[in-house]
Each structure stands twice: as structure tokens, then as C-alpha cells.
Amino acid sequence: MKLNPYSLYKELLERFGNLNWWPMDKSYHEKNGSEPRFEIIVGAILTQNTAWSNVEKALTNLKSENMIDIKKMVNIDIVNLQNMIKPSGFFNQKAKRLKNLAGYLHSNYHDNLDTFFNRDLHAIREELLSLNGIGPETADSILLYAGNLPIFVVDAYTKRICDRLPLDTNISYNEIQQYFELELSKKYQKEELTQVYNELHALIVILAKNQCKKKPECSTCPLKKYCMFKKRLTQ
């Protein structure tokens, strides 16, 4: 029996429940009058090639200096920024990327994320992809989680699960994304898709971290009855 994106979503939702990703410190933003969407944008860059636990340490450092702010990010000395985000790894690269993106938002959108996000999704995506250090996964995370726009994020975990189950798609980024969006759009109204894409991506991440690891723990996996990879392991 094969899964499709809709049945995958239902199976994982039943097992793990709503995860309400992207994690964000709402009380911090209420206290400081800062822009929570910019925290998500910063996190999307910091999480490149590292675990989220490391990102949280870097975000804590930034918040301790009230640096979750576009204009402040533009003006901060890059060495100071590098030191703050050091726990996230690749901090020299990431500091440049953060300052570059903050500078772009400052110069072109006057720090106004409403202006930035209230446009055609694909136009925003092309704009993000044109910036140094922002690839499809980072761009789509920003669009989905910060922009609240309906686009499905594909990461290494998604590719692993698509390959192992398998789902009826090749494992390139664009092919997986198009397949998931096409299949889920058959089941949900347009206004529902952002939340569905949000939850499903988070559910896949949890599955891949807890069960469908590089060395999988198939015995506790909610998808084991569908999984061809498990069958190959036991043959």
C-alpha cells in the first residue's frame, strides 16, 4: 500500500498532533515592540547546516542585545554579529547573509515586512533566490513561516522519507514540491493550504529526527506498514 501526501499528512497528524511550527518568542516581541517575522527570517538563515538547538543559542544571544531588528542588523559591526551567532556554526558566512538580507529589506522596503510580503508569491521567491546565500529551502521557509504564504518547504528529511516509503515522485527539490502542492491542493481549499504545508513540513521533520533517521528506528515509526525501506532492511 502506497501513501500520498494527503494520507501522509493524516497519518503523521494522528501520531504527533499539531506542532505549531515555527517556534518563536512572542513575549520577547511584545515586550520590545519588535517584528516576530524578522526572527523567523533570521532563524531560517541561521538554521542552514546546523541543528535547531544551536540556532536557539544564537537567537538568545541576539535577543539579549535586542538585535532582532532590521535596522539594527544593518548597522551592527559584522564582527560583533559573528560573535553573537557563533553557536549556529558557519558564522562568518551567516553574518554576511544576515546583513545582506537586512540591508536589502532596509533599502528596498524601508524595514516594512508587510510591503515585502504583500505581493505575488513567485515574485518574492525569485527576489529571495537572487540574494547571496539564500537557496530554495531557505527562501521557502521564509515565505511559508514568516510570510504565511502557501508554499511547501522541502528539506533533506523530506527527500529521505520520499525515497524510503517511497512516495510517487523523484527526489529533486522542485519535483517533490510540485507533487506535494498538486496533491494537497486536491484536498484543501486555497486558504487552508498554508496551514497544511506548515504542519506537514514540521511533522516530517519530527518523524525524521525521531524515527526515520539515517539509521532508522522502524519499530516505533507510524509509517512502518507502508515503508519499503523497512521491508528491505528485514529481508
Q: What is the pLDDT along the chain (235 residues), one digit of tens a residue?
A: 678 999 999 999 999 999 989 988 889 999 999 999 999 999 999 999 999 999 999 999 999 999 999 999 999 999 999 999 999 999 999 999 999 999 999 999 999 999 999 999 999 999 999 999 999 999 999 999 999 999 999 999 999 999 999 898 888 999 999 999 999 999 999 999 999 999 999 999 999 999 999 999 999 999 999 988 877 777 5
Indicate the residue among 111, 146, 181 that finishes a domain.
146
Contact criterion met (CB below 8 Å) for 25 and 63:
yes
What CATH number should be reported for the domain holding residue 114? Answer: 1.10.340.30
Whether residues 124 and 220 share a domain: the answer is no
| Main-chain dihedrals φ then ψ at residue 145, nearest 5 degrees | -90, -35
Whether residues 55 and 125 share a domain: the answer is yes
Whether residues 97 and 174 share a domain: the answer is no
Q: How many domains are there within the chain?
A: 2
Whether residues 94 and 155 share a domain: the answer is no
Whether residues 162 and 230 share a domain: the answer is yes
Half-sphere exposure of 211 (CA within 13 A, CB side): 20
Domain residues for the domain of 215 are 5-19+151-234
